[in-house]
Structure 1
Amino acid sequence: MRNPLDIDNSTALLEQVNQALNSATPLRIQGANSKAFLGRPVAADVLDTRAHRGIVSYDPTELVITARCGTPLTELREVLDAAQQMLPCEPPGFGVGATVGGMIASGLSGPRRPWAGAVRDYILGTRVITGHGKHLRFGGEVIKNVAGYDLSRLMAASYGALGIITEVSLKVLPKPRQCLSISLEIDTDRALLRLAEWGQQPLPISAACHDGQRLHLRLEGGEGSVAAAHDRLGGELLDASYWADLNEQRLSFFEQEPPLWRLSLPNNTPPLSLPGQQLIDWGGAQRWLKSDAEAAYIRRVVEAVGGHVTCYRHGLIDSPFQPLPDALMRYHRNLKQQLDPKGIFNPGRLYAEL
């Protein structure tokens, strides 16, 4: 049955964009605004995408779903749940009403990311309103249909700086038949060593987090493989809700103060000596740091091991995202110029230069 709230509002969105282009008025693109804390503040007229919503098409046998940008993420998940399917990348919502468009624009992924891939890996096609006042379609609804430059996946983590994502087609997968979470008492150094070792073995691990005292693991797959892995690894049973609480930053670790930093690191990076408290996610590839240390110092330590840093919350700095080298910034500027020549979409959200 069709949801009475579902509506194609693309004409109104396109009209607002063309009015903004004619008057050179910058626009702040937002859905539920649940991720407004990420990036730099944008002083501009609001373009709200939430009226453009609804599941456009979904065929569980094809493992593809197409939804409009204002569709609540909870609604998308409910539809997939009914067919025992899921978005493997586990995008966080960070609040009630988070939308599909915000999921793509932020490009954030959950605990399963190292084993299943990121949001961008599941994008098959998009419809986008560009800074030329055109409503264009990129990609499609099948896996092998991309020729040339893949603009659809480029929209992931663009934070609205390149255009308005009005619609997206996503690859989905069946839910695992068995899921079991366990907790092991093990220190940080040994946990990272074990995770590096287990990563070379056929273990059905789909999430791994160390809170400073215990290593939490999620095992997913067939009943036999999950049971065998549990027998081998041991550990105490852990409530499965832990992973949602981690993903949505509801754990006590994420409570207010001090500033929260996200460290993205190469696999098998040893423990980093940084002031503050750390939470290790993604088997060590993503680490959360609560610290009052200066941004330059944190970035220097992380860059030395080949990683990068994002200031997530409460950090009063001008560039929350990792500063880009001059050559890479030049590519970003050229791309922005091609897709948004008048610079009206979320100006400065990613970097002051954009």
Structure 2
Amino acid sequence: MATTPEQGPLTGVRVVELAGIGPGPFAAMLLADLGADVVRVDRPGGTGLAIDTAYDITNRNKRSVIVDLKSPDGPARVLDLAARADILIEGYRPGVAERLGVGPEACHARNPALVYGRMTGWGQDGPLAQRAGHDIAYIALTGTLGMIGSPDEPPAVPANLVGDYAGGSLYLVIGVLAALHHARATGTGQVVDAAIVDGTSHLSAMIHGMLAAGGWQDRRGANLLDGGCPYYGTYETADGKYMAVGALEPQFYAEFLRLLGIEEHAAARKDWSRWGELREAVAARFKSRTRDEWTALFEGSDACVAPVLSLREAPHHPHLAARGTFTDHGGITQPAPAPRFSATPTAVRTGPAQPGADTAGVARDWDVPDLLKHQEPTKGPE
């Protein structure tokens, strides 16, 4: 078995993940990190993701079997797993799982308590439901992308963190765990429709409130939290690196100005007409020293200033190192599981699951012996 009582609060929960890319695998990784026994159903030939499977850490802490859903007995093998699972996650376009014979109706016929999680960008219905898309298009329509970046430049692309993972994966995980709670109380499963457009829109709830109240302008770089405020943003240093500033409260702002050496600008905090000169003064000061010099100067203060680190630098920061925020497993430096639990600590137990490598163990542990039957892959179009 893949878990023990000391390996996460979801120990004993069984999850079937129908292989895909992006937010679905990340959601399944999070459940696996929390101790669930996640079985990833890989397809013959893989998903087409351009990464060596040995480095795809979104498949850590999982086990993998290969099932060809286009073979005559492929759907039956998935339904066998679904019959023994608590949660199933799929990320196909709407209707595809049904056409393959593993949709919610077929799965619930075998397991009425199953939580069936569906991960898409546009959702299961609506005019765009059948359209292809990626993170950037989903967050564009929600108004989120348009908020990010300088007012005189195109919107800044926040990798695929805001849509795929924050608005997608995390909402899917919240949804399936809430539905699992309901299923265990009532014996009735349900379908969780996690759409990235819904989750990403939900993330901006506070800002919509501020917009309605007149406290947020509907344009980039003009607000307290979007870079428009000179004491909430990033500044270049003498060595071409950056410092991040978030000195919002009066006491933090005062400390920030004192350490920066520009206390004469204290009154500019609430005077929008002086924000331009304040920004110029702050920028000039930061350009006078290197990032490491400023980091040392602000060390130990409540000025709310931090160096902007690269991905390779971050694991070595003293605070993150002390907490073990990153860990090394199998030669790969990676984020450790989060959040943390006092009674059921989590860990990176295994590296990325290799397609089909765990078939025998899953067949035994889940009592699905037919997984061991050889299935010829279905050939695609020539």
**Normalising by the residue count of structure 2, what TM-score does the alignment of the two structures yield?**
0.31
**Bigger Rg, structure 1 or 2:** 2
Higher relative contact order (CA 8 A, sep 6+): 2
Q: Which structure shows the higher strand fraction? A: 1
Q: Which structure shows the higher helix fraction? A: 2
